[in-house]
Homo-oligomer: A and B are copies of this chain.
């Protein structure tokens, strides 16, 4: 921890999108005690029922959060990337209620919950930013539920391609209209509540309609308005406005 200021930079960036921090706030965030840990693709960072002691900031790579039914069905409800505070949920409530799994090779910073909570209450600006982050995540969950519960396969897929584009752009990881999906079609299926076979056909059909082109996992959005219309996508639920206000 010779230069802690470097390590937690992604967290600071994320929090600054949520609210205004002053110099002292920034210092305090970067001074959080953090331990860097690496995981290989598909390894579990946290498992359901674990007693979580740390929360977990993603520094590099992608992870998913998911739950499984008794008969092995899997539902992914969140894809996390650089800067995401992936496990505030689990750790604050002591017992993890879902899995956190690496999608690609992953680098995370583990921060003791107690340090995180103390900071939130000693520095209200930080507390508010963290709270906002939590609420925005809840909003994304709601949209995800609407997606899975009330939209057909094509619409779901288009919706998720739009959401992912915007979130990658916000995190500064790629352009809105051209990115690489860090997941297999089977994992996409688990996110959308479909089967991998159907995901495949759906992607093909979106491509045939000229909305996207793709080579392997790379997605190029050819017609943003068309894709957003097909996906019934309105970015309001991401509360991107917070970043500007």
Interface on A for B, CB 8 Å cutoff? 48-49, 65, 67-71, 73-75, 77, 88-89, 92-95, 97-98, 117, 121, 124, 127-128, 131-132, 134-139, 141-146, 148-151, 155, 192-193, 232, 236-237, 239, 241-242, 245
Q: Nearest Cβ distance between residue A150 and chain B, in whole angstroms?
A: 4
Q: Nearest Cβ distance between residue A157 and chain B, in whole angstroms?
A: 14
A93 / chain B contacts, CB cutoff of 8 Å: 132, 135-136, 139, 239, 242
> Complex formed: what's the CA distance from A128 to B92 in Å?
9
Q: Nearest Cβ distance between residue A169 and chain B, in whole angstroms?
A: 20
Q: Nearest Cβ distance between residue A199 and chain B, in whole angstroms?
A: 13
Q: Which residue of B lies closest to A141 (CB)?
A: B141
A68 / chain B contacts, CB cutoff of 8 Å: 146
Q: Which residue of B lies closest to A118 (CB)?
A: B124
Q: Nearest Cβ distance between residue A226 and chain B, in whole angstroms?
A: 14
Interchain Cβ contacts under 8 Å between A and B, 16 examples: A48-B236, A49-B236, A69-B155, A69-B232, A73-B150, A75-B149, A93-B135, A97-B143, A97-B236, A98-B139, A134-B135, A137-B138, A138-B141, A141-B141, A144-B145, A150-B193
